[in-house]
Amino acid sequence: MSKLKKLLATTGAIAAMSIAASGAWAQDCPRGDLDARYCDRDGDLVADTPDDASELVDPDTLIFAYTPVEDPAVYKAAWADFLDHLKEKTGKDIVFFPVQSNAAQIEAMRSGRLHIAGFNTGSNPLAVNCAGFNPFTIMAADDGGFGYEMEIITYPGSGIEDVADIKGKQLAFTSPTSNSGFKAPSAILKADYDMLPERDFEPVFSGKHDNSILGVANKDYLAASVANTVITRMVARDVIKADQIVSLYKSETFPTTGFGTAHNLTPELKASIRDAFFSFEWAGTSLEAEFGKGGESQFIEMNYKDFWNVIRKIDAANDVSYTCQ
């Protein structure tokens, strides 16, 4: 056989081996919508804990972040007692990370700078698929009820009597990754009212739910789509008065903030973090003082596959892709 034929034969054999190996890897590492760096062998739609011990992390200091639905300073105080409990259960130092945007929170976990987090409803699919987020719990009331509704609001005397009156006017969203602040209202306006941003109304983005609510209450925005639990807490804190807001539309109930960990924490550390959430006694704590205003009083077990099914359907209706940058 000539040298050329031998070279071609060898190259072909190597290519065949590569293809076979690639196929074997694809079978060994199914991932669905997950980014290429993650695997989902058990089919629960979230990234598996790495099998390779060298890929696991067990940091001395754990970074915690709560979704930026309002000013992070409000929540640093609210989470203080829980974070003390988390420190006791894990034996780790805990730092509250005041993220300013949903995108920054997702990037922090993707890059390994965030270990424990509460991601808002709309960000959960992106955090799961792009950042390896493993959500496992959600806040609930004493009876196990949980969730919130998206409301489209205006102010008294705005001239807007129903959702259709927004046509030709302005509607404030919060951020593109927010379920109640953008995704859900966009899908509902399109499906139920044949209304599209730019074509039928002027969309603006406030950045946070409290900004949108204050904007409507102060008559800076004609209308806004927000999570009604934030309205409840702002009224309870006397930030706004209930009669400054008029509700035009109330959606079905959606799951609220999902809490969990980065996928690559050691199994032992994940277990101690789970224990911290489920053993936390709310009564008399800073967490109850803030979130009790909305009726929450405990953490309950949940799973992303079932609880976020409706949110993934909304994303599909909005042609949202979980492509990671």
Q: What is the per-residue DSSP string for 283-294? A: TTSHHHHHHGGG
Question: Residue 18: pLDDT above 90?
Answer: no
| Topology, domain 53-145+256-317 | D-Maltodextrin-Binding Protein; domain 2 (3.40.190)
Question: Residue 281: pLDDT above 70?
Answer: yes
- 127 backbone dihedrals φ, ψ, rounded to 5°: -65, -40
Mean pLDDT along residues 49-54: 96
Query: Which part of the chain is CATH 3.40.190.10?
Result: 53-145+256-317, 148-254
Q: Which of helix, strand or coil describes residue 25?
A: helix
* CATH 3.40.190.10, domain 148-254, yes or no: yes
pLDDT at 196: 96
- Give the C-alpha separation, 241 to 57, whole Å: 47
The answer to whether 314 touches 101, Cβ cutoff 8 Å, is: no
List Cβ<8 Å contacts ≥24 apart for 239-242. Answer: 239/210, 239/214, 240/213, 240/214, 241/217
- Give the C-alpha separation, 50 to 39, whole Å: 8
Tokens representing 48?
A: 């598996």
pLDDT at 27: 60
State pLDDT tens for residues 228-280. Answer: 999 999 999 999 999 999 999 999 999 999 999 999 999 999 999 999 999 99
State pLDDT tens for residues 94-128. Answer: 999 999 899 999 999 999 999 999 999 999 999 99
Mean pLDDT along residues 157-171: 97
pLDDT at 190: 93
Q: How confident is the model at residue 73 (pLDDT cuts 50, 70, 90)?
A: confident
Query: How many angstroms separate the Cα of 320 from the Cα of each of 59, 90, 177, 224, 309?
Result: 34, 37, 10, 21, 14
Question: Residue 219: pLDDT above 90?
Answer: yes
- 10 backbone dihedrals φ, ψ, rounded to 5°: -65, -45
pLDDT at 10: 37
Q: Which of helix, strand or coil describes residue 136?
A: strand
Place of tokens 């639990």: 229
pLDDT at 72: 77
Q: What is the pTM of this model?
A: 0.80
The answer to whether 65 touches 117, Cβ cutoff 8 Å, is: yes
Question: Residue 19: pLDDT above 60?
Answer: no
Mean pLDDT along residues 80-86: 98
